[in-house]
Amino acid sequence: MSRSQALFAQARRYIPGGVNSPVRACAAVGCEPLFISSARGGTITSVEGDVYIDLVQSWGPMLLGHSHPEVNAAVRAAVERGTSYGAPCEDELRLAEMIVEALPGVEMVRMVNSGTEAAMSALRLARAHTGRNKVIKFEGCYHGHADAFLASAGSGVATLSIPGTPGVPPAVVADTLLAPYNDLAATEAMFSVYAKEIAAVIVEPAAGNMGLVPPCPGFLQGLHDLCDAHGALLIFDEVITGFRLAYGGAQTRYGIIPDLTVLGKIIGGGLPVGAYGGKREIMSRIAPGGDVYQAGTLSGNPLAMAAGVATLSLLRQSDYPALENRVESLCRGLEESFAGRGLPVTITRLASMFTVFFTASPVTDFSSAKQADTACYARYFTHMRSRGVFIAPSPFEAAMVSFAHSDAELAAVVAAVVSFAG
């Protein structure tokens, strides 16, 4: 028994399923998780001492790579000043200023502790601002585990084949309307019936929780126009895409300005964080300035704020187009390698993200994503791990490439596929 296996057996005695987030258990790919002892740059090291090229990158936050020296230095300095104040600190102001300067849809921002908390708070604000209750979300999009968002949530819910939303009263999701991602006509049909009841449309501007599924041309603009026409708010969930698709997020890349934006992951530089922001008129409703209550003991935590400031300072100077070109070359190499094995594969790619779907058909929504061969993906996962490449233990996630990944590491990823038999 390996050390990871021994630790997992022990963890199952004390932690539900042995993990603190379900997909980590690796049940969908038929194996047990690795326990990690350290991470640096584009790699992680298991407790056995084995080094893996990491294409998970903590599920997205580590765009600079693991253990960036300047981010680490900022966190160490913050630790020396105290780990939590329960009071304002200068770095939370600095990070808020940087987010507002970067994202055209954000004039004010409130820090919270997770993407789930941010999405939940943004929905509450949207409902208060519009005086309406219904929200449109898209099948396969994941906005955290708040009750209202667990209908057809993609990500871990899809990975584990959990039916419905156990523990969530039907009344809680009665106001959640579901539409297929990239299907503007279906969204229009919902507005035709519920126009005066819809508070908001929430969307991942590029879906990352059914695997990577980019928006079709006109989809985001269509959502923007529908919301404007009917007095609903457009919420971009940029927990994954924020500062990854571009320094200014998906809203900069696509030129679509949402009313509210949900953030997380990268803005904390690897520490727990979330945020939601938007137009000043809307955000001014948040207490104590307004009447919509939301609070958190650890919101604006000085360690997360210091890491976030250091991370965004570095990303502001980073060459995003160069990284995107490297990922494009990586995906071409993967496609050629899979073609050499005679496997039907569709690879979706956007900026520094990509997903390998084992299907010959285009993937444009959750329904088409679910047509991919998940058993083949499980074999692919096992094969890649045996070749020293760490990928997501779920067919419904995106691979992440960082600025720290070397050309040699990316070449090794392609080489690992050559021996995959499918």
Tell me the average pLDDT across 143-160. 68
Tell me the average pLDDT across 50-63. 98
Of 315, 332, 367, the one marking the end of a domain is: 315
- pLDDT-derived band at 164, boundaries 50, 70, 90: low
- Give catalytic residues, as residue numbers: 142, 237, 265
At residue 268, φ and ψ (nearest 5 deg) are: -105, 0
- Classify 39 as helix, strand or coil: strand
Q: How many domains in the chain?
A: 2
Tell me the average pLDDT across 28-45. 97
Residues 286 and 331 in one domain: no
> Exposure of 87 by Cβ count < 10 A (0-12 exposed, 13-18 middle, 19+ buried)?
exposed
Distance CA 277, CA 280 (A): 9
For the stretch 210-230, pLDDT in tens is 999 999 999 999 999 999 999
Residue 281 CA neighbour count, 13 Å, CB half? 5
Residues 52 and 170 in one domain: no
At 155 the pLDDT is: 52
Distance CA 407, CA 62 (A): 18
Tell me the average pLDDT across 124-131. 98
Distance CA 392, CA 22 (A): 12
Tell me the average pLDDT across 36-40. 98
Residues 327 and 266 in one domain: no
Residues 180 and 305 in one domain: yes
For the chain, count helices (H), then strands (E).
Answer: 15, 14
- pLDDT-derived band at 40, boundaries 50, 70, 90: very high
Tell me the average pLDDT across 19-47. 96
Q: Name which of 150, 103, 147, 105 is nearest 312 in CA terms.
A: 103
At 370 the pLDDT is: 96
Residues 88 and 172 in one domain: yes
Residue 148 has pLDDT above 90, yes or no: no
Would 14 be classed as within a structural domain? no
Tell me the average pLDDT across 54-69. 98
Lowest mean pLDDT among 95-99, 184-188, 262-266, 336-340: 336-340
At 341 the pLDDT is: 80
Residues 228 and 80 in one domain: yes
Distance CA 107, CA 37 (A): 40
At 152 the pLDDT is: 58
**Range 154-165 burial, b when 16+ CB lie within 10 A, else e:** bbbbbbeeeeeb
Residues 283 and 179 in one domain: yes
At residue 286, φ and ψ (nearest 5 deg) are: -75, 135
Report angle CA 138, 140, 146 to the nearest 5 degrees: 80
Would 81 be classed as within a structural domain? yes
Would 162 be classed as within a structural domain? yes
At 159 the pLDDT is: 44
- Classify 348 as helix, strand or coil: strand
Residues 381 and 272 in one domain: no
- Classify 199 as helix, strand or coil: strand
At 57 the pLDDT is: 98
For the stretch 105-121, pLDDT in tens is 999 999 999 999 999 99
At 163 the pLDDT is: 46
Would 246 be classed as within a structural domain? yes
Residue 197 has pLDDT above 70, yes or no: yes
Which residue range forms the structural domain that includes residue 370? 37-63+322-418
- Classify 51 as helix, strand or coil: strand
What does each C-alpha distance from 12 to 2, 6, 16, 37, 48 come to in angstroms?
A: 16, 10, 6, 19, 19
Would 27 be classed as within a structural domain? no
Of 315, 344, 371, the one marking the end of a domain is: 315
At 36 the pLDDT is: 98
Q: Which CATH number do you get for residue 179?
A: 3.40.640.10
Residues 260 and 306 in one domain: yes
Residue 196 has pLDDT above 60, yes or no: yes
At 173 the pLDDT is: 82
pLDDT above 90 coverage of the chain, percent: 90
Residue 160 has pLDDT above 50, yes or no: no
Would 333 be classed as within a structural domain? yes
- pLDDT-derived band at 165, boundaries 50, 70, 90: low
Tell me the average pLDDT across 29-43. 97
For the stretch 330-389, pLDDT in tens is 999 999 999 888 889 999 999 999 999 999 999 999 999 999 999 999 999 999 999 999
Q: Which CATH number do you get for residue 345?
A: 3.90.1150.10
At 406 the pLDDT is: 98
Would 15 be classed as within a structural domain? no
Of the two residues 370 and 159, the one the predictor is more confident about is 370
Q: Which two tokens stand for residue 301?
A: 């935590």
Q: Which amino acid is at 416?
A: A
Tell me the average pLDDT across 169-174. 81
Residues 345 and 198 in one domain: no
- pLDDT-derived band at 149, boundaries 50, 70, 90: confident
Would 19 be classed as within a structural domain? no
Residue 136 has pLDDT above 90, yes or no: yes
Q: Which two tokens stand for residue 289?
A: 């300035």
Residue 162 has pLDDT above 50, yes or no: no
Residue 161 has pLDDT above 50, yes or no: no
DSSP symbols for 251-272: HHHHT---SEEEEEGGGGTTSS
Average pLDDT, the chain: 95
Tell me the average pLDDT across 134-158. 80
Of 281, 298, 315, the one marking the end of a domain is: 315
Q: Name which of 420, 399, 280, 279 is nearest 347 in CA terms.
A: 399
Residues 246 and 377 in one domain: no
For the stretch 258-302, pLDDT in tens is 999 999 999 999 999 999 999 999 999 999 999 999 999 999 999
Residues 56 and 151 in one domain: no
